[in-house]
Amino acid sequence: MPEKMQATVMPGIESRRIQLYSFAACRFLNWNVVFACENVLIAYTPRRWSHGEDVVTIETTDHQLHITSRSCNESFDFTGRYRKHISSLIGAINIVRESDMRQWNFELERLLEFSMQSVERAS
């Protein structure tokens, strides 16, 4: 499957805070965040009439954000959709950084807990 990846430097921001901004941005964009662990978020973009949902994987480290966008079932990206997902996410992060993070933090904590319980049940 084709994919597009981009790394973005976020100076002075630790990994957990970048993950929180990324989670809030995904929710802002109405993406379905389905999994979270220490430094990773996995989200699905909304399904459209012209194509299925795409997977966006977000990995965070201190001062860096790595975003990968790819399709679940298509073999080509003729329209630059993956690049657009990455640009949308970065733009949304810049918007949500100015908002109150308490609600997003609560929701992210719940997702982290749910994800870890799911992994434990599966093993």
What residues contact 74, with CB distance under 8 A and at least 6 apart?
Answer: 1, 2, 51, 52
- Give the pLDDT confidence of 30-47 residue by residue, as tens digits: 999 999 998 999 999 987
pLDDT at residue 72 above 70? no
Say if 123 falls within a structural domain. no
Residue 81: predicted pLDDT: 75
Amino acid type, 115: S
The number of folded domains in the chain is: 1
Query: What pTM does this model have?
Result: 0.89
Tokens of 2: 């084709």
Specify the higher pLDDT residue, 72 or 42: 42
Say if 112 falls within a structural domain. no
Cα–Cα–Cα angle for 93, 58, 16, rounded to 5 degrees: 70
CA 18, 109, 35, 38 dihedral sign is positive
Q: Mean of the pLDDT values across residues 99-110? A: 92
Say if 120 falls within a structural domain. no
User: Which range marks the domain in which residue 87 is found?
Assistant: 3-106
